[in-house]
Amino acid sequence: MTIYDFTANDIDGNPVDFGKFRGDVLLVVNVASKCGFTSQYEGLQKLYETYRGRGFRVLGFPANDFLWQEPGTESEIKSFCSVAYGVTFPMFAKVSVRGKGICPLYAWLTDKGEHPELGGKVTWNFNKFLIDRDGGVIGRFGSRTKPLAKPVLEAIEAVLGGLSRE
DSSP 78: H
Active site (annotated) includes residue 103: no
Residue pair 92/11 in contact (Cβ under 8 Å)? The answer is yes
- Check the CA dihedral 8-15-86-68 and report its sign: negative
CA distance 110 to 9: 20
Q: Which residues have C-beta within 8 Å of that of residue 48, sequence separation ≥ 6?
A: 56, 57, 58, 88, 89
Q: Which residues of 150-165 are buried (b: 16+ CB within 10 A; e: fewer)?
A: eebeebbeebbeeeee
**Helices 40-51/150-160 angle, 10° precision:** 20
Number of CB atoms found within 10 A of residue 80's CB: 18
Exactly one of 16, 35, 107, 118 is catalytic; name it. Answer: 35
Residues belonging to the active site: 35
